[in-house]
């Protein structure tokens, strides 16, 4: 184990190891990125299956398929798996693959920790999913796990849920530290902060958000753990605690968390729209500042999730206006994307289709968010399907479409082959129609007063629920097509050139496709 | 396996520094999560927004009674989970003048065949009135032990502050009675398992 031997091995530019140990022991950012993406897609299918159970039960009024207890477990697990298992790891996977390529670094700054932070995730989700088979069932208190529902009244498996959240939290924090260290230290010579690609910028800010709020999440589940098992009374009124405190601490984490799930998508879309508009991004600097402003504001709006618990009028006004203020930087971003497309030489390949749909549909989700931000109106909307419609509009065509757009955009770089454009467009259109069919009627259901998290509903909601379920089945089934497209693309297809998109910019297009196992051993010069 | 770069000297040192800063931030935010608990307590105590009424109020000077103004005070009682006691106020609602000291009783009865201890936790609505509702004597300051079948009257002495904002004409005081288990025998040393004065 001498330094000489190490240097010697280095000079040979070894490829990946063979067999399973390649994946277990790898410190290569591309391997780890691939594992993150595969894992997140597996979780997406699992969480999606749960959504199908939910929509099947809600297809008609009455109780048909599952009992209410299991229904509650499905909504809870669907939320937890989609948030922590599908969306977040997908973005970490994209970060692993693309950040070093975009900033001209040979790898992530902390490759061994990178391996560790990935492999914690399957462990965390094994624990979480195993609660489904435990006595008393899986967590059934909603993904927001409000106390005392999750403490005094939670199932015995809650302790396993807490442990799983701890592990996935540690994984996220390590991932975030790695991203920060990589971006701050490993940029190619000449790449100043304001020359960084936007995906890098958004991920840097996301990583800071993760570091700021994941420990608070760890703190709140630790308090739950102590309330459940060690007789403390953080959230128990009989011992002097306060259940509302839970909501404050949770949403102090929870609101920045929703930006953690969307900011990297903002970054990716800011690459894709210019590439297919064949124009540089409009307003680069304002995009950076807008993301920063959104991130900062996300820390002072948390109580808009809890207007109905009884907040003094001054507090309601503060959180209402602060929330509405977020529309300003978000609006800047939407206008910049539109301005980028304006008079561009547009072409609509799959990544662009997803990116344009992202801009339009995310804006709809933003508008319903503004409606929810109005404190007096929120008293009507609170805990109805309108809220479900809102956050699915920002997360499905927001985060998920952003991930699909990124996947199609960079698949040629990852695999060396072009994906099947016809199938990809089919995937887009079926997803687009299915998703809108599934979630748009939920706005009407919510305004008409249908509460969320219920397995049965009044008869007047039947028609819209049936439409919604049909859309959900369509969206769900379509995702198998995505699996097929990716498998096809990995196995073969038209050879991709180093830069398959003529309008694309960035260092990642200067390396051959597929990207070699080791890239940028010598840093490129950025002018 | 190894991917250390030969010329990684300065870069590595600064990576250590970045990781150090990040870890400090992580630990700091973890601590902040817990610091939110006392911060929230203090914030609520100052503003009264969570409806938790204060502890024992010391009357320093006999305040004048504002006979021109009448405030209705309603009393509610409810039982915490699995609390078998009968628990109710003697009056549902009374009209008081701000500044006057009023005494009312709550009644508790232990219908079980076991001695038990109860603890009442108060909450006032609207929370805006919390700061203006003073209790000089309250059964909620202490735990209440009751023998099997025993019944007791529990007094509450309160003053509605003359400074109560004009637009508040009605205050609702709600007590939730929680089961605190069996009484701890005096010979065991401590007669109370926990101090609950903070519940006030």
Sheet holding B133-138, edge to edge: B86-89, B101-109, B151-160, B133-138
- What global pTM score does this model have? 0.88
**For residue A296, what are the contacts with CB-CB under 8 A and spacing of at least 6?**
none
Q: Which CATH class is domain A262-515?
A: mainly alpha
B113: domain CATH number? 2.60.370.10
Structural domain boundaries enclosing B36: 10-47
> How many angstroms separate the first and last alpha carbons of chain B?
62
pLDDT digits (tens, 9 = 90+) for A55-107: 999 999 999 999 999 999 999 999 999 999 999 999 999 999 999 999 999 99
A107 part of the active site = yes
Predicted local confidence at residue A398, as pLDDT: 94
A427 part of the active site = no
Predicted local confidence at residue B60, as pLDDT: 66
Q: Does residue B99 share a domain with residue B30?
A: no
- Residue A163, class by beta-carbon neighbours within 10 Å (0-12 exposed, 13-18 middle, 19+ buried)? middle
- Residue A362, class by beta-carbon neighbours within 10 Å (0-12 exposed, 13-18 middle, 19+ buried)? buried
Locate the chain A residue with the closest alpha carbon to B48: A312
Q: Does A126 touch chain B (CB under 8 A)?
A: no
Q: Does residue B81 share a domain with residue B28?
A: no
Predicted local confidence at residue A457, as pLDDT: 96
Q: Is the pLDDT of residue B193 over 70?
A: no
Locate the chain A residue with the closest alpha carbon to B39: A245
Mean pLDDT, to the nearest integer, of A490-519? 94
Residue where the block lists tokens 């492999």: A119
Interface of A with B in 216-235 (CB under 8 A): 216-220, 223, 234
Q: Is the pLDDT of residue B192 over 70?
A: no
* CA of B158 vs chain A CAs: smallest distance (Å): 21
Predicted local confidence at residue A71, as pLDDT: 96
Helical pair A350-373 and A385-394, crossing angle rounded to 10 deg: 140
pLDDT digits (tens, 9 = 90+) for A333-350: 999 999 999 999 999 999
Interface of B with A (CB under 8 A): 1-6, 11, 14-15, 18-19, 22-23, 25-30, 32-34, 36-37, 40, 44, 47, 49-52, 80-81, 119, 121, 127-128, 176, 178-180, 194, 196, 198-199
**For residue B145, what are the contacts with CB-CB under 8 A and spacing of at least 6?**
B115, B116, B117, B118, B183
Q: Which two tokens stand for residue B17?
A: 């520094």
**Rounded CA separation A143/A72 (Å):** 10
A281 in Cβ contact with A194 (< 8 Å): no
Quick one: three-class SS letters along B172-193? EEEEEEEECCCCCCHHHCCCCC
Confidence at A26, pLDDT banded by 50, 70, 90: very high
pLDDT digits (tens, 9 = 90+) for B124-182: 888 888 888 888 888 888 888 899 888 999 989 998 988 888 888 999 999 989 888 88
Q: Is the pLDDT of residue B1 over 60?
A: no
With pLDDT > 90 as the criterion, what percentage of chain A qualifies? Answer: 91
Q: Does A58 touch chain B (CB under 8 A)?
A: no
Sheet holding B116-125, edge to edge: B93-96, B71-79, B170-179, B116-125, B144-146
Predicted local confidence at residue A409, as pLDDT: 97
CA B123 to mean position of chain CA atoms: 7
A8 part of the active site = no
Q: Does residue B124 share a domain with residue B36?
A: no
Please answer yes or no on whether A185 and B18 come within 8 Å at the CB atom.
Answer: yes
Confidence at B56, pLDDT banded by 50, 70, 90: confident
**Rounded CA separation A77/A81 (Å):** 6
With pLDDT > 70 as the criterion, what percentage of chain A qualifies? Answer: 97
Please answer yes or no on whether B36 and A237 come within 8 Å at the CB atom.
Answer: no
**Rounded CA separation A297/A319 (Å):** 10
Q: Does residue B37 share a domain with residue B78?
A: no
Predicted local confidence at residue A242, as pLDDT: 87
Q: Is residue B1 part of a domain?
A: no
B134 in Cβ contact with B101 (< 8 Å): no
A185 in Cβ contact with A107 (< 8 Å): no
A452 part of the active site = yes
Predicted local confidence at residue A464, as pLDDT: 97
**Rounded CA separation A397/A366 (Å):** 12
Q: Is the pLDDT of residue A2 over 80?
A: no
Q: Does A180 touch chain B (CB under 8 A)?
A: yes
Confidence at A385, pLDDT banded by 50, 70, 90: very high
pLDDT digits (tens, 9 = 90+) for B91-104: 999 999 998 888 99
Q: Does residue B186 share a domain with residue B113?
A: yes
Nearest to A46 by CA among A72, A20, A83: A83
pLDDT digits (tens, 9 = 90+) for A399-426: 999 999 999 999 999 999 999 999 999 9
Predicted local confidence at residue A364, as pLDDT: 96
**For residue A477, what are the contacts with CB-CB under 8 A and spacing of at least 6?**
none
Q: Does residue B193 share a domain with residue B154?
A: yes
Predicted local confidence at residue A47, as pLDDT: 97
Predicted local confidence at residue B141, as pLDDT: 81
Predicted local confidence at residue B195, as pLDDT: 42
Q: Which residues in B lie closer than 8 A to residue A111 (C-beta atoms)?
A: 3
A255 part of the active site = yes
Predicted local confidence at residue B180, as pLDDT: 83
Residue where the block lists tokens 């000297």: B9
Q: Which two tokens stand for residue A7?
A: 């240097």
Confidence at A149, pLDDT banded by 50, 70, 90: very high
How does B60-81 read in b/e, with b if 16+ C-beta sit within 10 Å? Answer: eeeeeebeeeebebebebebbe
Specify the 3-state DSSP secondary structure of B112: coil
DSSP string covering A11-27? HTT--PPSSHHHHHH--
**Rounded CA separation A254/A249 (Å):** 9
Q: Which residues in A lie closer than 8 A to residue B83 (C-beta atoms)?
A: none
**For residue B24, what are the contacts with CB-CB under 8 A and spacing of at least 6?**
none
β B93-96/B133-138 pair status: unpaired
Q: Does A525 touch chain B (CB under 8 A)?
A: no
Confidence at A10, pLDDT banded by 50, 70, 90: very low
DSSP string covering A138-180? S--STTTT-TTTTTTS--TTHHHHHHHHHHHHHHHHHHHHHHH
Alpha helices in A326-349 (DSSP H): 327-341
Among A195, A248, A452, A518, the one annotated catalytic: A452
Q: Does A21 touch chain B (CB under 8 A)?
A: no
**Rounded CA separation B83/B75 (Å):** 19
**Rounded CA separation A57/B50 (Å):** 38
* CA of A317 vs chain B CAs: smallest distance (Å): 15
> Over chain A, what is the mean pLDDT?
94
Q: Does residue B143 share a domain with residue B91?
A: yes
Confidence at A13, pLDDT banded by 50, 70, 90: low
Q: Does residue B78 share a domain with residue B41?
A: no
Predicted local confidence at residue B62, as pLDDT: 66
Domains in chain A: boundaries? 33-137+154-235, 262-515
Q: Does residue B121 share a domain with residue B26?
A: no
Q: Is the pLDDT of residue A5 over 70?
A: no
DSSP string covering A40-55? HHHHHHHHHHHHHHHH
Beta bridge partners of B154: B106
A505 part of the active site = no
Suggest the residue from B15, B141, B175, B181 to mutate for an interface test with chain A (most A CBs closer than 10 A). Answer: B15
Domain count, chain B: 2
Please answer yes or no on whether A10 and B6 come within 8 Å at the CB atom.
Answer: yes
Q: Which residues in B lie closer than 8 A to residue A240 (C-beta atoms)?
A: 121, 196, 198-199
* CA of B19 vs chain A CAs: smallest distance (Å): 6
**For residue A291, what are the contacts with CB-CB under 8 A and spacing of at least 6?**
A201, A202, A205, A263, A266, A267, A329, A333
Among A172, A182, A298, A340, the one annotated catalytic: A172
Nearest to A181 among B5, B15, B50 (CB): B15
Please answer yes or no on whether A311 and B30 come within 8 Å at the CB atom.
Answer: no
Suggest the residue from B24, B25, B181 to mutate for an interface test with chain A (most A CBs closer than 10 A). Answer: B25
**Rounded CA separation A95/A175 (Å):** 9
User: CA-CA-CA-CA torsion for A371, A376, A379, A380, nearest 10 degrees?
Assistant: -60
Predicted local confidence at residue B142, as pLDDT: 84
Q: Does A312 touch chain B (CB under 8 A)?
A: yes
Greater confidence (B164 vs A132) lies with A132
A418 in Cβ contact with A489 (< 8 Å): yes
Report which DSSP code applies to A69: H
Please answer yes or no on whether A242 and B50 come within 8 Å at the CB atom.
Answer: yes
Q: Is the pLDDT of residue B49 over 90?
A: no
Specify the 3-state DSSP secondary structure of A438: helix
Report which DSSP code applies to B159: E
């Amino acid at each position: 184990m001498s330094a000489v031997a190490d240097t010697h091995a280095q000079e040979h530019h070894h490829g990946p190891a063979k067999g399973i140990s390649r994946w277990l022991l790898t410190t290569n950012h591309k391997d780890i990125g691939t594992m993150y993406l595969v894992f997140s897609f597996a979780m997406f299918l699992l969480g999606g299956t749960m959504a199908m159970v939910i929509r099947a039960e809600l297809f008609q009024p009455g109780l048909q398929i599952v009992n209410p207890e299991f229904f509650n477990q499905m909504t809870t697990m669907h939320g937890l798996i989609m948030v922590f298992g599908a969306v977040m790891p997908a973005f970490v996977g994209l970060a692993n693959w693309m950040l070093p390529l975009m900033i001209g670094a040979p790898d992530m700054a902390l490759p061994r920790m990178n391996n560790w932070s990935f492999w914690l995730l399957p462990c965390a989700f094994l624990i979480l999913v195993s609660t489904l088979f435990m006595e008393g069932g899986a967590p059934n208190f909603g993904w927001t796990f409000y106390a005392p529902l999750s403490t005094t009244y939670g199932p015995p498996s809650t302790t396993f849920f807490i442990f799983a959240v701890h592990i996935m939290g540690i994984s996220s924090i390590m991932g975030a530290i790695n991203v920060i260290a990589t971006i701050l230290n490993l940029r190619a010579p000449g790449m100043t902060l304001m020359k960084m690609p936007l995906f890098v910028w958004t991920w840097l800010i996301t990583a800071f958000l993760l570091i700021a709020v994941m420990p608070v999440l760890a703190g709140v589940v630790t308090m739950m753990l102590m309330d459940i098992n060690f007789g403390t009374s953080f959230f128990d009124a009989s011992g002097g605690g306060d259940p509302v405190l839970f909501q404050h601490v949770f949403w102090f984490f929870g609101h920045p968390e929703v930006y953690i799930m969307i900011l990297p998508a903002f970054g990716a879309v800011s690459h894709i729209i210019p590439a297919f508009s064949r124009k540089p991004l409009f307003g680069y600097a304002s995009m950076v500042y807008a993301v920063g402003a959104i991130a900062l504001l996300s820390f002072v709006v948390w109580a808009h999730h809890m207007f109905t618990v009884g907040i003094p009028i001054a507090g309601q006004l503060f959180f209402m206006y602060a929330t509405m203020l977020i529309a300003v930087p978000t609006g800047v971003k939407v206008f910049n994307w539109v301005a980028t497309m304006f008079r561009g030489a547009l072409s609509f390949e799959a990544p662009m289709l997803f990116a344009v749909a992202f801009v339009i549909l995310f804006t709809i989700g933003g508008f319903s968010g503004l409606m929810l931000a109005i404190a007096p109106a929120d008293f009507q909307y609170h805990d109805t399907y309108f809220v479900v419609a809102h956050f699915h509009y920002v997360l499905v065509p927001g985060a998920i479409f952003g991930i699909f757009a990124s996947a199609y955009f960079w698949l040629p770089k990852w695999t060396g082959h072009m994906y099947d454009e016809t199938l990809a467009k089919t995937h887009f259109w079926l997803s687009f129609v299915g998703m809108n069919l599934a979630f748009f009627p939920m706005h009407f259901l919510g305004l008409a007063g249908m509460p969320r998290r219920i397995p049965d509903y009044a008869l007047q909601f039947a028609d819209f629920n049936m439409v919604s379920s049909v859309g959900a089945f369509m969206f769900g089934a379509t995702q198998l097509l995505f699996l097929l497209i990716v498998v096809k693309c990995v196995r073969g297809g038209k050879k991709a050139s180093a830069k398959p998109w003529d309008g694309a910019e960035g260092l990642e297009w200067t390396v051959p496709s597929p990207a070699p196992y080791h890239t940028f051993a010598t840093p490129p010069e950025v002018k | 396996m190894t991917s250390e770069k030969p010329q990684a000297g300065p870069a590595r040192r600064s990576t250590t520094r970045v990781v150090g800063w990040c870890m400090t931030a992580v630990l700091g935010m973890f601590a902040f999560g817990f610091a939110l608990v006392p911060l929230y307590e203090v914030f609520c105590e100052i503003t009264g927004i969570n409806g938790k009424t204060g502890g024992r109020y010391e009357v320093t000077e006999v305040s004048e009674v504002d006979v021109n103004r009448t405030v209705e005070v309603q009393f509610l009682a409810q039982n915490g989970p699995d609390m078998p006691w009968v628990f109710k106020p003697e009056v549902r609602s009374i009209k008081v003048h701000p500044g006057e000291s009023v005494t009312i009783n709550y009644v508790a009865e232990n219908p079980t065949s076991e001695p038990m201890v109860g603890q009442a936790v108060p909450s006032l609505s609207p929370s805006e009135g919390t700061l203006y509702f003073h209790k000089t004597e309250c059964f909620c300051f202490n735990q209440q032990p009751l023998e099997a079948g025993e019944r007791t009257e529990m007094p509450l002495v309160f003053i509605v502050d003359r400074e109560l904002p004009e637009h508040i004409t009605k205050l609702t005081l709600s007590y939730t009675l929680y089961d605190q288990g069996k009484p701890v025998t005096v010979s065991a040393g401590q007669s109370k398992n926990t101090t609950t004065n903070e519940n006030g």
